[in-house]
Structure 1
Amino acid sequence: MKTTGTVTGKATTPYAANRPRPRLGHLLLLCALLLTAFATATPAQAADTADTADTADTADTADTADTADTQAAYLAKQLRTNPVYVTDQLPREIPKSTTPAFTKLAKRTGVPTYVLVLPMEAADGEALLGAVHDRLGEDGLYVLIDDSSVTDASAYGVTAPADDAVTTAQYELPFDAGPLRSFERFVDVIAEGGEKAAARAEAAREKYDSDGEPADLYIGPSDRDNQSFLTGMAITGVPLAMLLLIPYVRRWWRRRPGAPVTLKKPQQSRRWTRWILPVAALATAAAITASAPHVFDQTTSSASPRPRAIDLNARLDRVAEGLDQDPIYQDPESPRALDRTQLAQLHARIEKFQSSKGGGPVFMALVPQLYEDESESDEEYFAYAVHDKLGKDGLYIVADPLDGYINVFNYGLGLDSYGPLNDLPESVTYGDEKSDAADDHLLGERLTSVMTALDKTERTDEPTTPGEPYPLTDPITEDELQPLFYGDFWPGLFIGALMAGAVLGLVAAVLGIVRKSLLRRNPDPLQTSTLPTASPAMPTQAYLRDTARTELRAMAREFDTGETADTRARNRYDATMLLAPDGDAVDDLPPATLTAVIILARATRAALAGDDSTLCCGVNPLHGPAKTSRHVRTSSVETRRRMLPLCEVCLDDPHKIPARLLKLPPNGRPYYEDELLSEAPKGFTKLGRKVREAAHVQ
């Protein structure tokens, strides 16, 4: 039996008695572990502190780098999916649905080609292409295109005349050629190779310097109005000018002083005037009407294809989806305006406002507002469309990262519409010199100011909304030109008629001046009132020829083609034409025939002028019309009297009648002894009938 006791004054217990004693090796190992732990404790703590500081510094640096590089990273990610990326922010100019067309062209370069179609304001040229290449890590030809043309291109690891192709595309094409046609020209130059591309670029540059920019390919609405007006003027002005000018000029030409006589059948001239000219004028009007749409065949004012519904909704869907996940949405295609710190601060302010009394959701969309986008650069319409797609009431803040503008729209929150939120200073909404000079337009600070104003805005019981915005231009039809026969076409018809009259007046004035000039060289025949005293009793053969030629020309000029010529005038004209079939070529005609030509030509002119005289002076038919008939002596030797019609001069002085009697050359016999001229005292009708009988014409 065991008992407990004390040994050397120390009490022992059963546990203590049974505990093994520690060995020396174990004690040494324990000391070594304690020393190691003590030695490493302080350095580890210092290392942890240093790591924390380094992490903070790295976070700040990465924050800044991420802000600058997020755009390139996003675009590189898109190019991994498809080597051609077309933005959804330019549907009015270059819809996203044109991606297959760009892709097809890119395959013709012969080298790997990566294409970025972005808004001009969001692209930083070669710097962006270099950043995207570094992110993508693929060699090839990188091309940057904006809403009008190819702007930059760089070749990485491949051989391609990128600079020459860009130069050629920019100098050979007009500004309105469009990005797709510009890229097509770029691809063609790339495919030609280095030497040809360089020569073509130099030629394009020289031509641009000498001739300027190529002519535009498209016209605008004002140009179409001018085309419509011009078409209307031509349709009425040209035919009317034909109907007015051609008869007038033809008549003037026939009647011009010194004009040769060209005798024609009156019936032929009449048919020409009454039928051929009106038909020709009508055919001209029809031809102008039919050909004008082919001459002015433009139907659109831009090279941009028509956008589809999916193109117009692509960006709105993207923004709405982003805001559904995060109340702050930054456009990934644009340079980032907010860094991580600013984002965290704005998120905190948004949560604070939403949880405050009378608060609500806040949605910030940092998206460019461009004239070529679906909203036509209308921030109110953009906010309205995003709100409609998102389906959530709240305060919608639209901030443009490219120009720095900020707009606030309230949909369904009870806020005082006259409070601080609506009285934001322009330095917050539009920016100032300081914000304009900054790359990010200080959007972080200015959006914070907006949130501060929002916190101060009084709450109301009634929710407010801006309502529906003003309607935009229809993006599908905005580039369509009006029909040619529309708008200014109708006033053009009226002005064309006035212009035809004005041209007639101008031509008449010019021809009047010309006629006066010609009269100085070729005086008109003597007036009828001067004939009795001016016509000789014994004319020479030369006098008869010259007078006949002059009278024939005057008759041909004055003879109307059926408008005023009556039966008398046409009969006398026909008789004259039978005597002088060769016009004013009268040199071979005998004196009696020349005299008859003069008598009938003057009678024709008198009938055209409305003179109803039927007899000519029987003493001298060259005296002109007779006034009355008398028994007179025609010889100073004979006492026999003859009944002759007398002109006024012969009637007033009958004693001089024998001396005034017309005697024909060369032997001086009285005219009435000639078989033809014997009918002259009996009247123009009988003289004409005698002429037709002699010519065997009924």
Structure 2
Amino acid sequence: MKTGGERGDLSMRAATEKAGRIIRTRVLAISALLRLLAVLLTLFATATPTAQAATPSPSPSPGTQAAYLAQQLRANPVYVTDQLPREIPKSTTPSFTKLAKRTGVPTYVLVLPMGATDGEALLDAVHDRLGKGGLYVLIDDSSVTDATAYGVSAPADDAVTTATYELPYDAGPLRSFERFVDVITEGGAKAAARAQAARDKYDADGEPADLYIGPSDRDNQSFLTGMAITGVPLAMLLLIPYVRRWWRRRPGAPVSLTKRPSNPRRPTRWLLPLAAAATAVAIAATAPHVYDQTTSSASPRPRAIDLNARIDRVVEGLAQDPVYQDAESPRALGRARLAQLHARIEKFSASKGGGPVFMALVPQLYEDESGNDEEYFAYAVHDKLGKDGVYIVADPLDGYINVFNYGLGLDSYGPLYDLPESVTYGDETSDAADDHLLGERLTSVMTALDKTERTDEPTTPGDPYPLTDPITEDELNPLFYGDFWPGLFVGALAAGAVLALVAAALGIVRKSLLRRNPEPLQPSALPTASPAMPTKPYLHDTARTELQALARAFGTGETADTRARNRYDATMLLATDHEALDELAPATLTAVIVLARATRAALSGDDSTLCCGVNPLHGPAKTRRHVRTSSVETRRRMLPLCPVCLDDPHKIPARLLKLPPNGLPYYEDELLSAVPEGFTKLGRKVRETTNVR
């Protein structure tokens, strides 16, 4: 028997259970209603594709792209795209994997084409799909672009900054990732300081110098090498003798008072040619070590499997579905538009004269196996797929559409071959859309395809233009190739040009020196320019000038005849020491001037044997005459006369040479008394005076 309290408890428990049953019943009813509503919505969606197609598809989300990439990272934490074989082949995956293991934290690396990603947004989406913490890194075809740490401590931003600013643009993605990893391993404080230093250096100095040179740079190197190999040795052969000769003959050059040997040793003549030849050989041997670049890019050489990977992937996809969308790129076609395109393709295939249609929504990049050549890409896909039909290549990144017909009978002048640019290249509206409105534009292509008339003869485009060989495209030409050969010729011309410039410069210097060290007067100017009563400084300066001119003209004496050598020897007997010219008497200085001029005249081929007997400084004489040498005396002398004295004999007394310091006529001096008898007698007199036989 239950008490009143127990009955109260039972009644309360019963009420509670009843209320619970009522609530559960209502929840089940609501749940069933929601499931029914979901089923109805699904049926409505699948039953009305046309209505859905009529509404614009929303901008593609990175969900499908992120899901695919997350799936790849789940299999391997480093994923390298197959779309960049010319720049970063897929076979470099082990190299990236090795570097990723150095970070010390779980690292997930995505190497994707530039433009196929949305930076941090893609990394966030991939991380959400993968569901694993770690360092997520995004790399394009040139460098590390983005990095985010999820649940781990890593200076991702500083590492990206350092890799961006420390390396030049052509460093390549692998070297960029290596620098990124180096900074990650340094830790937070050092990484931050290094990033700031890299940024400051970039602001101060600009872009770092390129690591690689291009083909034009190699052409310049070849050209310069060719110029150096011929230009430098030829310049040596031309300039060294020229400058030495100019230096010896320069105005004011010291006079060599010793006779030079007439036959210098033969071996010395070959020193300069041998040195020039050795220089050419040295340049040719050194240039390949100075210009030692062999490639124009950091790109590793792709292998055949790298070049075929994407084509194989696309062909495999088209074998299963006539519309292939690149899984690495954001999806451009929604389900409704995809279903509509499938229907249009089936309709065309079933039509009279129709055939298969294959759509490949794949990026066309300069770094891919086709080198951004849509025609070559379509040709390769058709060749490997082995099926004739219409191949449509649509780029989901830039929105371009290209159509190629392989083996179908379609009018080549029909609408398919005259598509408007708004369909093939897009317009402002499509450029502003994330998906480039590829769905609508591909539908327009199918409409044009339906309208194209059929023909009995199938048409097929010719073979595409040959591509640059991806294996060797980055190889530089050998140094001794191409512009090297024109460089050899230009080097010879340059040597001549340098000689001309040096000659012009030395000519200017010579004029400047002539102001301080004038050249000897020409023989025709001597009668009017030579004084009758010269001072000793005048005689000293004139003797010095004549000796310098004689030294330049006589040289080694190889071309001098006996007459010139005898006169030269007599001159050197008087001028035994260049520094002692100041100590010579005026008569001796006069004899030096006369003999030096006579020697130079003999060297030039002048056969004159006499100088003016009125004033020996007047130069060569023309004939002999009896003349009065004094206005007081009536006595006449037989003297050789220069043309000026011969034309005006009345002025001979005033023109007679009188020597300082007493002003006596020159012929009263014992040495100069032989002057009127000719240069030979004067030379003998010099030898007698100096006791030389």
What is the 5 A alignment of 1:224-235?
224-235=218-229
Give the secondary structure class of the aligned counterpart of 1:163: helix
What is the 5 A alignment of 1:156-175?
156-175=150-169
- Counting matched residue pairs gives 658
Aligned equivalents of 1:439 and 1:146: distance in 2? 20
Aligned equivalents of 1:243 and 1:662: distance in 2? 51
Report what 1:362 is aligned to: 357
Pick from 443, 462, 465 the counterpart of residue 467 of structure 1.
Answer: 462
Aligned equivalents of 1:100 and 1:574: distance in 2? 89
Pick from 155, 175, 198 the counterpart of residue 181 of structure 1.
Answer: 175
Aligned equivalents of 1:187 and 1:377: distance in 2? 32
Aligned equivalents of 2:605 and 2:375: distance in 1? 81
Shift of 1:501: 3.8
1:550 is matched by which residue type in structure 2?
T
- Unmatched runs of 5 consecutive residues or more in structure 1: 1-38
Pick from 406, 414, 420 the counterpart of residue 411 of structure 1.
Answer: 406
Report what 1:320 is aligned to: 315
- Note if 1:112 corresponds to 2:118: no
- Note if 1:76 corresponds to 2:63: no
- Note if 1:204 corresponds to 2:191: no
What is the 5 A alignment of 1:204-223?
204-223=198-217
- 1:58-113 per-position Cα deviation (integer Å, ceiling 9, x unaligned): 9999x989963121222222223322221111111112222222222223323222
Report what 1:27 is aligned to: none
- Note if 1:552 corresponds to 2:547: yes
Shift of 1:375: 0.7
Report what 1:93 is aligned to: 87
Shift of 1:400: 0.9
Aligned equivalents of 1:341 and 1:562: distance in 2? 105
- Note if 1:433 corresponds to 2:433: no
What is the 5 A alignment of 1:448-463?
448-463=443-458
Q: Does the aligned pair in 1 maintain the 2:587–2:671 contact within 8 Å? A: no
What is the 5 A alignment of 1:126-525?
126-262=120-256, 265=260, 267=262, 275-525=270-520
Aligned equivalents of 2:569 and 2:303: distance in 1? 77
Shift of 1:43: 8.7
Give the secondary structure class of the aligned counterpart of 1:205: helix
Shift of 1:595: 4.0
TM-score normalised by L of structure 2: 0.82
Q: Structure 1's 57 and 231: CA in aligned 2 closer, same or farther, altered over 3 A?
A: farther
Report what 2:5 is aligned to: none
2:295 is matched by which residue type in structure 1?
T
Aligned equivalents of 2:512 and 2:345: distance in 1? 94
Aligned equivalents of 2:475 and 2:114: distance in 1? 24
Aligned equivalents of 1:311 and 1:148: distance in 2? 18
Which deviates more, 156-165 or 426-435?
A: 426-435
- Note if 1:528 corresponds to 2:523: yes
- 1:157-202 per-position Cα deviation (integer Å, ceiling 9, x unaligned): 2222111111111112222222122222222222222222211211
Q: Does the aligned pair in 2 maintain the 1:233–1:497 contact within 8 Å? A: yes
Aligned equivalents of 1:409 and 1:589: distance in 2? 104
Q: Does the aligned pair in 2 maintain the 1:86–1:116 contact within 8 Å? A: yes
Q: Does the aligned pair in 1 maintain the 2:671–2:689 contact within 8 Å? A: no
Which deviates more, 383-392 or 518-527?
A: 518-527
Give the secondary structure class of the aligned counterpart of 2:581: coil
- 1:339-370 per-position Cα deviation (integer Å, ceiling 9, x unaligned): 23332332233233323333322221111001
Q: Structure 1's 313 and 580: CA in aligned 2 closer, same or farther, altered over 3 A?
A: farther
Aligned equivalents of 1:494 and 1:98: distance in 2? 45
Q: Structure 1's 133 and 532: CA in aligned 2 closer, same or farther, altered over 3 A?
A: same
Q: Does the aligned pair in 2 maintain the 1:538–1:665 contact within 8 Å? A: no
Shift of 1:660: 4.0
1:93 is matched by which residue type in structure 2?
E
Aligned equivalents of 1:377 and 1:81: distance in 2? 30
- 1:478-536 per-position Cα deviation (integer Å, ceiling 9, x unaligned): 22333333333343344444444444444444444444444444433343334456656
Give the secondary structure class of the aligned counterpart of 1:444: helix
Q: Structure 1's 45 and 196: CA in aligned 2 closer, same or farther, altered over 3 A?
A: closer
Shift of 1:246: 4.0
Which deviates more, 244-253 or 129-138?
A: 244-253
Aligned equivalents of 1:306 and 1:635: distance in 2? 104
Aligned equivalents of 2:558 and 2:111: distance in 1? 72
Aligned equivalents of 1:558 and 1:293: distance in 2? 47
Shift of 1:640: 12
Shift of 1:377: 0.9
What is the 5 A alignment of 1:595-614?
595-614=590-609
Shift of 1:239: 3.8
Q: Structure 1's 143 and 45: CA in aligned 2 closer, same or farther, altered over 3 A?
A: closer
Q: Structure 1's 695 and 90: CA in aligned 2 closer, same or farther, altered over 3 A?
A: farther
Q: Does the aligned pair in 1 maintain the 2:59–2:433 contact within 8 Å? A: no
Shift of 1:220: 2.6
- Unmatched runs of 5 consecutive residues or more in structure 2: 1-25
1:159 is matched by which residue type in structure 2?
S
Q: Structure 1's 524 and 459: CA in aligned 2 closer, same or farther, altered over 3 A?
A: closer
Aligned equivalents of 2:538 and 2:175: distance in 1? 80
Aligned equivalents of 2:487 and 2:687: distance in 1? 55
Aligned equivalents of 2:545 and 2:468: distance in 1? 73
Question: Percentage identity across aligned positions?
Answer: 78
TM-score normalised by L of structure 1: 0.81
Report what 2:21 is aligned to: none
Shift of 1:469: 1.0
Aligned equivalents of 1:578 and 1:218: distance in 2? 70
Which deviates more, 628-637 or 578-587?
A: 628-637
Aligned equivalents of 1:174 and 1:42: distance in 2? 67
Q: Structure 1's 411 and 544: CA in aligned 2 closer, same or farther, altered over 3 A?
A: same
2:140 is matched by which residue type in structure 1?
D
Give the secondary structure class of the aligned counterpart of 2:446: helix
Q: Does the aligned pair in 2 maintain the 1:676–1:691 contact within 8 Å? A: no
Q: Does the aligned pair in 2 maintain the 1:150–1:183 contact within 8 Å? A: yes
What is the 5 A alignment of 1:575-654?
576-577=571-572, 579-580=574-575, 582-583=577-578, 586-589=581-584, 593-617=588-612, 621-628=616-623, 647-648=642-643, 653=649
Give the secondary structure class of the aligned counterpart of 1:153: strand
2:360 is matched by which residue type in structure 1?
A
Report what 1:687 is aligned to: 683
- Note if 1:50 corresponds to 2:37: yes
Give the secondary structure class of the aligned counterpart of 2:109: strand
Give the secondary structure class of the aligned counterpart of 1:468: coil
Q: Structure 1's 558 and 298: CA in aligned 2 closer, same or farther, altered over 3 A?
A: farther
Q: Does the aligned pair in 1 maintain the 2:110–2:138 contact within 8 Å? A: yes
Give the secondary structure class of the aligned counterpart of 2:582: coil
Which deviates more, 624-633 or 224-233?
A: 624-633
Which of these two proteins has the greater Rg computed from alpha carbons? Answer: 1
Give the secondary structure class of the aligned counterpart of 2:88: coil
- 1:260-308 per-position Cα deviation (integer Å, ceiling 9, x unaligned): 4355736588979954444444444444444333333333322222222
Q: Does the aligned pair in 2 maintain the 1:552–1:584 contact within 8 Å? A: no
Which deviates more, 316-325 or 597-606?
A: 597-606
Which deviates more, 420-429 or 276-285?
A: 276-285
Q: Does the aligned pair in 2 maintain the 1:362–1:395 contact within 8 Å? A: yes
Shift of 1:46: 4.9
Shift of 1:548: 1.8
